[in-house]
Amino acid sequence: MTKSAIIVGVDEVGRGPLVGSVVAGAVILPDDFYLPELTDSKKLSEKKREILYAQITEQCQWAVGESDANEIDSINILQGTMLAMKRAVENLNIKYDRVLVDGNRCPELHNCRAIIKGDLSEPVISAASIIAKVTRDRQMFELDKLHPKYGFSKHKGYGTRQHLEALAEFGAIDNQHRFSFSPIKNLYHH
């Protein structure tokens, strides 16, 4: 009997927000794992994502990797994203055969293939996108408890009107906001 190839799916969440980390998920699905609902995490309701997250984390090998706001500011969002994905795979701490990444670019990992819209076509990438999204959303709920005036639990750090108004009124939060992103940069460099 031949051993199945160990395929790692990777996806990230949080490139666009003005606050927090970019978070990547890395997942290995067991051969018998089947969840027909697996798709791009953004297409699922929050409740559905939480249910799938529980199933994935119980039955699969998984890990996350992050690049925080300070690191993003010092190396840029693209490099931060690549680093988060690389860290997620390294945090699995397993010898793999292949890595499938959502998007058009691979981090520095051997046998890596980027697949555009891979979160829709590859269940292993869909699972990684759910891990990343739920992890990052939970971080935003925690940040919302510490800084309720900004509404992070609602907009998840994206540059919504509510978030921009809060920034104008209360300023940016050190170590959380991305000072290299233009709405925040503009706030401090008039």
* Known binding-site residue numbers for a divalent metal cation: 11-12, 102
Distance CA 130, CA 50 (A): 8
Distance CA 96, CA 73 (A): 31
- Token output for 39: 């798709």
161 Cβ partners below 8 Å, 6+ apart? none
Strand ranges of the sheet holding 7-13, from the earlier edge strand across to the other edge: 61-67, 22-28, 7-13, 98-102, 112-115
First to last CA, the chain: 67
| Positions at the binding site | 11-12, 102
